[in-house]
Amino acid sequence: MPMYQPSSRREVDSQVLDLETAVKDGVLGGGGGGCGIIATGFGSEKLDLKLMIEELEPMDVPMVFICPISLEPMHDPVTLCTGQTYERSNILKWFSLGHCTCPTTMQELWDDSMTPNKTLQQLIHSWFSQKYLAMKKRSEDVQGRVKEILENLKKIKGQARVQALKELRQVVQVHGTAKKTVVENGGIGLISSLLGPFTTHAVGCEVIGVLVNLNLDLNSMSDLLQPAKISLMVDILNEGSIETKINCTRLIGMLIEGTDFASQNVASLSLLVGLLRLVKDKKHPNGVVAGLNLLKTICSHEPVRNSFVNVGAVPQLVELIPGLNNECLELVLHILELLSSTPEGRLALKDCPSTIPNVVKLLMKASENCTQLALSILWSICKFAPEECASLAVDAGLAAKLLLVIQSGCNPVLKQRSAELLKLCSLNYTTTIFISKCKLTRTIQ
């Protein structure tokens, strides 16, 4: 059988898929026949299929529209002699690689013809056109409603304002068009202005719920970083529902991330205490992640660290370690490592009886990043109080874990730090006693 060449492939001009059957079988969801030309509101014009697919949000597309090679909707479907249909460009690429089989069935082709499947092409175009125009109609409705809500917010007060904000929050959570409309119509400034000294808790919760879903510009963020507004957000965080707590946490994180914020204005004791309560609420994992991320950002600013230590953060974070997943573990360890850079933080870590046992267990257990952070914390406190902490660490199995790190395929920097920590831990022991303390056999088991 001759090798297939895309340029010489024969095409048969016919319709392979029966339109009436396809509609009856629900390909178009029971709608009318697909003609490929539909009314768009601007006269009868054919919509560009590629553009429609790009603009539509991800959705479940009928499998018959999907090319088996690319797993993407077909624009120009052609059918082989085996009855299988593919996107023209994809099947031509298959043949150009020297294949003379059907990709789906792997049958050898007995006919070199490709039949343009015009009926399927019309069905695909009609289906996407219906979805596209419905999306455009929804977008227009959403835009109109958002503009109406923004106008009403300038006039209404009390419970009516709360209800309008609640509706706006629900809309911007779902529709990208709504977010864009709020921004383009000056909605961010209007909504931000509702946060003031006389703002009720209900209004504040809804305002924050809206703002956290928007793309804030630098001017808007600068306005929201005013001490009075940050203070209000912190109060709402401490008093609100779990959804409100998470929204406040994320909004404050958005405002301070990547900026040289005034730590005395943002990192108040009230905020730190509120975030500690949030991260300890294991019933709501989203809140734990949001809270830990914000604490990590805040603690990256050195002046804040002692304040965080002083509110009792270290023992509370250490006690969280055993029940956390890898993502949260790395965040907690990162925060504790930052706190260990201060004398107060090292003292708090040393004085917490769970620090050494909990952190030693993480070596070679979770991830290499967790191992690196754990080593850094252990090095800080063992160096800070070698006589007291080194023996506790060895009794907790540190020496054996360090030997495993040294013998593993870890980063050379980790191995070097492990060797240094192992040497530090051995200073208080004779060689024989220290070797017996390593318990290497038990650790491997």
User: Whole-angstrom Cα distance, residue 55 to residue 129?
Assistant: 11
pLDDT at 273: 92
DSSP string, 196-245: STT--HHHHHHHHHHHTTS---HHHHHHHTSHHHHHHHHHHHHHS-HHHH
pLDDT at 29: 45
User: Domain 56-116 belongs to what architecture?
Assistant: 2-Layer Sandwich (3.30)
pLDDT at 259: 64
Under DSSP, the state recorded for 385 is S
Cβ proximity of 378 and 393 under 8 Å: yes
Cβ proximity of 187 and 145 under 8 Å: no
pLDDT at 415: 82
Domains 56-116 and 140-357 share a fold: no
Domain ranges of the chain: 56-116, 140-357, 358-444
* 3-class secondary-structure state, position 10: strand
Alpha-carbon dihedral 46, 49, 53, 59, rounded to 10 degrees: 80
Residue 27 burial (10 A CB sphere; 0-12, 13-18, 19+)? buried
Fold for the domain defined by 140-357: Leucine-rich Repeat Variant (1.25.10)
396, 389, 282: which is closest to 332 by C-alpha?
282
pLDDT at 414: 80
* pTM strictly above 0.85: no
Per residue of the chain (445 residues), give pLDDT as tens: 333 344 345 555 544 444 445 544 444 444 433 333 344 443 445 678 877 777 676 778 888 999 999 999 999 999 999 999 999 999 999 999 988 899 999 999 888 889 999 999 999 988 888 888 877 777 677 788 889 899 999 989 899 999 999 999 998 998 888 898 999 999 999 999 999 888 999 999 999 999 999 999 889 998 998 888 999 999 999 998 999 999 999 999 998 875 665 554 566 888 999 999 999 988 899 999 999 999 999 998 888 898 899 999 999 999 999 988 889 999 999 999 999 999 999 999 999 999 989 988 888 787 888 888 988 998 889 888 887 887 788 778 887 788 787 877 777 888 888 888 878 777 666 666 666 666 544 444 3
Cβ proximity of 53 and 73 under 8 Å: yes
**End-to-end Cα, the chain, rounded Å:** 61
pLDDT at 36: 39
Query: 155-175 burial by CB neighbour count: b if 16+ within 10 A, else e?
Result: eeeeeebbebbbebbebbeeb
SS3 content of the chain, % helix, strand, coil (to 5): 65, 5, 30
pLDDT at 402: 80
Structural tokens at position 165: 């904000």
pLDDT at 278: 94
User: Whole-angstrom Cα distance, residue 184 to residue 215?
Assistant: 11
pLDDT at 401: 81
